Amino acid sequence: MKNTASTIKWILLGVGGLVLLAYPLVAPNRYTVHIVNMAGIWILMSLGLNLAMGYCGQINLALGAFWGVGAYTAALLSTRFGVPIWINMPLGMLLAGITGALIALPMLKVRSHYLALVTIGLAETINIIMVNEIWLTEGPLGISGIPMPNLFGIPIDGAERFYYIVLVCVVVGFLVARQIVSHRIGRSFIAIRDDDTAAKAMGVNVAYYQVLANAICGVYCGVAGVLYAHMSTYISPDIFEFKNALFVLTMTMVGGMGSLAGSVVGGLALPLAQEWLRAIKSWQLVGFGLAIMIVVLFMPGGVVGLTQKIEQAGGIRLPWARKPAAEPSRMEEPNVS
Amino acid sequence: MNIVSIFIQTLVGGIGIGSLYALVALGYSMIYRSMGLVNFAHGSIYMIGTYFGIIWYRGMVMGLQVPYPIAFVMGILLTAILGLILERIFRPLAHLDLMLMLLGTIGLGYVLDNLAVIIWGAEGFAVNSPLPNEPIVIGGVALLPQMLLLITVSALLMVGLNVFLAKSKMGKAMRAAAQDRETASAMGIPVNTTNALVFAIGAGLAAAAGILAAPIVYVNPAMSAAVGLKGFAAFILGGAGSIPGAIVGGLVFGVLEAISAGFISSAYTKGIAFVVMIVVLMIKPAGIVGEVTVDKV
């Protein structure tokens, strides 16, 4: 039984890998490749959010800020100094990671919905800086003419070629996230999420790991930002507004909070669903909102949680089964005097 | 015009916008207090409420143009009815984890916002003030009549709400249900009904704020986001679940915004207000007035 399961797993991985590698060659047109590239960028952010929120329990709605820091780093360095992507990437990661760590500082003090607000407030403030510091960011007009990358003399000048850069980043990002989760860091995250007082009593340095979780989230969003800047060749502050942070939150929850596979599923499903729904114009977002409600009310564990339920009900183990995540912490019933 | 009159004028403007935030924050606070629900769709309810009043005032329903006070009342009543319906949809969300609650209410907000776009269009419009547009000048301070109306009516509504909660039988039942659900329902208080009414009142207050502010601001479906966020900030800043907290939080936020716009930098208005709010929360994590419940999560 175990052997069959692992054989199926390897076959699935092999087929999946081939499909991923061949995708741009068989895709119907460049636009569909672009959508998938964009999905890759969303997946990276969703992975970061999942590590901070799904594993470490840190409510963080400041993703737009991290993403923006990464994107602006790449945009400014490449347009003003002609710095190539492979130098922008580590710098963007570093700066976005530092932003993540800084945003984590209030988290040591405030909690739950207060924290949600503080992170929104900080993200809004960074967005306002992007709009107003025109000398640096060109203001609301945004920065255009960001060069597409050139790797080892090969110009990456179209969505099809850029696809492979995104693919490498997503695969590496996913594997690193998996390492983090199975490492002591990941176990400390989960301990903090489940009960930070108990974790502290067990000798876990809670503050350190909270800052670390958000810094890691920042790094993932930084990668997404650098990729985005070089892919779209144009950025402006409105892209990094709160609504896109919410989009990432939604895809993470639809996929499954506390599951890395969930981030991939959600990060692919939502942008694609959005494209399919584009045909019905204004009703698109109504449908989007209804879909969110349905997920929240009927499958709170997300798509991954649903497969887990199927496994439990049927007593089977699906090849892509994951370790069960603990219940998310509940908010206390308000008891008003 | 000297610095004092400029300051007073800024202050009055801040109190006006602050009353708008306070009325919206009251909705957040009452719903949180009674249902334990952090309702991120409240900004959308405020926006829909504004439309529900203004469509009558502007004659957008079968060309039927009604006077402003009647449109005001009709808007509040319609939004309160919508609140009753929404409470039924939100009820299961109140027992979920904070993140699910957040996402579920945001999902419903999306639905409301985009229904508004489908029904009334995305462009929006300016609304004529029912009062004269010339500012009243008192000792060098120029005040818009509509702003004074907003402040006065908001103050009346807030006092009325407090009296209603303190004195009326229904208000007492609401407070009892908010305080202890189980005991209240054992004592024969229909908790779900009181929650529905609280939701309706919250929605009605948001509509009142929107209809009063409509001639000053620009009415469009996107207005839900900005005011929703600031109302939420006011709700948190004052102390979640506290009624005086919501009022204080709203006024403080409005005045902060006006002062930073007038005296520091108009570009950084929103940012300065948020930074001050974050600093306040760092010093007093339970808000200015203090949260009614101690959050142990």
Amino acid identity of residue B139, one-letter, is G
For position A71, what pLDDT does the model report? 94
CA nearest to A245 within chain B? B103
**Band of residue A324 on the pLDDT scale cut at 50, 70, 90:** very low
Q: Which residues of B touch A124 (CB under 8 A)?
A: 229, 270-271, 274
Judging contacts by C-beta atoms under 8 Å, the chain B residues touching residue A110 are: 281-282, 285
pLDDT at position A195: 84
What pLDDT shows up at residue A224? Answer: 95
- How close, in Å, is residue B149 to chain A by CA atoms? 30
Q: Is the pLDDT of residue A329 over 70?
A: no
Tell me the angle at which helices B3-35 and B191-213 cross, rounded to the nearest 10 degrees.
160
CB contact under 8 A, A117 and B178: no
Averaged over B18-47, what is the pLDDT? 90
Residue of B nearest to A126 (CA): B271
Q: Residue B197: enclosing H or E segment and its boundaries?
A: helix B191-213
Radius of gyration from C-alpha coordinates of chain A: 20
Q: For B25-38, what is the mean pLDDT?
A: 87
pLDDT, one tens digit per residue, over A134-193 is 888 888 888 888 888 777 777 777 777 888 889 999 999 999 999 999 888 888 888 888
Helix B223-238 to helix B3-35 angle, to the nearest 10 degrees?
80
Give contacts of B 211-230 with A, CB under 8 A: 225, 229
Separation between Cα atoms, residue B103 and residue A192, nearest integer Å: 22
Determine phi and psi for B126, rounding to 5 degrees: -90, 150
- pLDDT tens digits, residue range B59-92? 887 777 889 999 999 999 999 999 999 998 888 8
CA-nearest residue to B292 within chain A is A336
Name the residue among B32, B180, B296 with its Cβ closest to that of A332.
Answer: B296
Q: What is the pLDDT of residue B153?
A: 93
Start-to-end CA span in chain B (Å): 52
pLDDT at A337: 38
pLDDT digits (tens, 9 = 90+) for A184-221: 888 888 888 888 888 888 888 888 998 999 999 999 99
Give the pLDDT score at B81.
96
Residues 249-278 of B with CB under 8 A from A: 267-268, 270-271, 274-275, 277-278
**Res B128 pLDDT > 60:** yes
List all residues of chain B from 129 to 168 with a beta carbon under 8 Å from chain A: none
Determine the Cα–Cα distance for residues B23 and A166; give it in Å rounded to an integer: 47
Report the distance separating Cα A6 and Cα B257, nearest Å: 60
Task: Report the pLDDT value the prediction gives residue A120, as an integer from 0 to 100.
Answer: 83
Identify the pLDDT of residue A93: 94
Contact: A117, B232; criterion CB under 8 Å: yes
Average pLDDT, chain A: 82
Question: In the numeric block, which tokens belong to residue A310?
Answer: 């199927």
Question: Can you give the pLDDT at residue B292?
Answer: 58
d(CA B160, CA A215): 48
Structure tokens at A159: 């969505």
| Contact assignment for B96 to A296 by CB distance below 8 Å | yes
In this model, does residue A336 exceed pLDDT 70?
no
How confident is the model at residue B78, as a pLDDT? 95
Q: Which residues contact A165 (CB under 8 A, 6 or more apart)?
A: A149, A151, A156, A227
Residue of A nearest to B96 (CA): A330
The residue count of chain A comes to 337
B179 touches chain A (CB under 8 A): yes
> Smallest Cβ distance to B114: which of A129, A289, A332?
A289
Of the candidates A238, A183, A189, A197, the residue with the CA atom closest to the CA atom of residue A60:
A189
pLDDT at A333: 42
- The per-residue pLDDT for A318 is 57
Residue A1: per-residue pLDDT: 53
Residue A323 has pLDDT above 60, yes or no: no
User: Of the ranges A30-44, B75-89, B121-135, B242-256, which one carries the lowest mean pLDDT score?
Assistant: B121-135
Residue A281's pLDDT is 66
pLDDT at B156: 94
The C-alpha atoms of residue B85 and residue A122 are separated, in whole angstroms, by 34
Contact B110 A110 (CB under 8 A): no
With a threshold of 0.90, tell me whether the complex ipTM lies above it.
no
At A335, is the pLDDT very low, low, confident or very high (cuts 50, 70, 90)? very low
Minimum mean pLDDT range among A1-5, A85-89, A247-251, B154-158: A1-5
Q: Rounded to whole angstroms, how far apart are CA atoms A39 and B66?
A: 50
pLDDT digits (tens, 9 = 90+) for B207-253: 999 999 998 888 998 888 888 888 988 888 888 788 888 999 999 98
Q: How far apart are CA B42 and CA A69, in angstroms?
A: 30
| Token digits of residue A72 | 């602006």
Contacts of A251 (CB under 8 A, 6+ apart): A42, A46, A263, A266, A267, A269, A270, A271
User: Which of A263-272, B25-34, B143-152, B283-292 has the least mean pLDDT?
Assistant: B283-292
Residue A106 has pLDDT above 90, yes or no: no
Looking at residue B297, its pLDDT comes to 33
Q: Convert the pLDDT of each residue in B178-218 to its tens digit.
A: 777 778 888 888 888 888 999 999 999 999 999 999 988 88
Can you give the pLDDT at residue B204?
96
Q: What is the pLDDT of residue A328?
A: 46
Looking at the complex, report in whole angstroms how far the Cα of residue B160 sits from the nearest Cα belonging to chain A: 21
Q: Please check the confidence at residue A2 and state whether its pLDDT lies above 70.
A: no
For residue A23, what are its two tokens? 């995708």
The Cα diameter of chain A in Å comes to: 69
In angstroms, what separates the C-alpha of B7 from chain A's closest C-alpha? 25
> Which of these ranges, A15-29, A203-217, A236-250, has the smallest mean pLDDT?
A15-29
